[in-house]
Amino acid sequence: MPIKVYGTPTSTCTQRVLTTLIEKGLPYELIKVNLAAGEQKTQEYLDEKQPFGVVPVLIDEDGFKIYESRAICRYLELKYKGKGTELMPTNDVKALGLFEQAASIEMSYYDPYVSGIVFERLFKGMKGLGDPDEAKIALYREQLNAKLDVYEKILSKQPYLAGQDFTLADLFHLSYGNRLVKLNEGHFFESRPHVKDWWNRITSRPSWQQVLALA
């Protein structure tokens, strides 16, 4: 039984998992969940797949089920350690600590603001939840600028967020960052030379290019 991913090729969280699968060279089957029709909120989906009613979910070859995109990616790295790209430095406690620091940076200082802007400017309208809240967007932008100034400092000393190597901590930024660029908000990356270099480096990885081609 191949690895099964329940989600969609354009869902930002599903894209995290697909990128990881491709980095690890793992074959998989993407089973589309009809988000527009609310399939993820049906009792069947809640009972059998993901009790919070979101995508993605992964079912491994042996039937093991796991959800939460970052958890899925971490699990794939642990399970298929020797395959494809190494995405977490599990051999050295300090390197692993700095990886965890970088993974937390993405959650603390990037995701809330980037997903916030993308929600207000794109998903809110798509879901019929009203017009963009410009005051909120302005606040998110202010915060994101302040945080990316710190990214600029960090990335002036090292090529990737956790150190010398590309890791899941960088990968987790791709899908929402891409949405930001598509909304003509790429200036966040472009205006900071080291952030810009890092962004170009991680977005030009073949795995990410393949995921974009699926959409």
Binding mask 148-177 for another protein (x = CB under 8 A): --x--xx-----------------------
Interface pick for another protein out of 1, 37, 93, 213 (rule CB under 8 A) = 93
Per CB under 8 A, 103 contacts another protein: yes
Closer of 22 and 54 to another protein (Cβ): 54
How far, in Å, CA of 2 to CA of 47, rounded? 22
Per CB under 8 A, 96 contacts another protein: yes
Interface pick for another protein out of 79, 141, 194, 196 (rule CB under 8 A) = 79
Site for another protein in 2-61 (CB under 8 A): 51-52
In the bound complex, what is the minimum distance in angstroms from residue 209's beta carbon to another protein?
26
How far, in Å, CA of 123 to CA of 137, rounded? 13
Size of the site for another protein (CB under 8 A): 31
Cα–Cα separations (whole angstroms), residue 177 to 7, 49, 75, 180: 19, 27, 23, 5
Contact call for residues 60 and 27 (beta carbons, < 8 A): no
Closest by alpha carbon to 22, among 87, 112, 117?
A: 87
Contact call for residues 154 and 86 (beta carbons, < 8 A): no
The stretch near another protein (CB under 8 A) out of 37-45, 96-104, 125-133, 175-183 is 96-104
How far, in Å, CA of 190 to CA of 196, rounded? 5
Per CB under 8 A, 133 contacts another protein: no
Cα–Cα separations (whole angstroms), residue 139 to 112, 120, 148: 11, 12, 14
How far, in Å, CA of 95 to CA of 123, rounded? 37
Closer of 62 and 213 to another protein (Cβ): 62
Residue type at position 122: L
Interface pick for another protein out of 2, 31, 34, 71 (rule CB under 8 A) = 71
CB atoms within 10 A of CB 114: 24
Interface pick for another protein out of 2, 34, 78, 136 (rule CB under 8 A) = 78
Per CB under 8 A, 211 contacts another protein: no
Contact call for residues 101 and 81 (beta carbons, < 8 A): no
Closer of 113 and 203 to another protein (Cβ): 113
Which residues of the shown chain bind another protein in the complex (CB under 8 A)? Answer: 51-52, 64, 66-71, 74-75, 78-79, 93-94, 96-98, 100-101, 103-105, 107-109, 112, 147, 150, 153-154
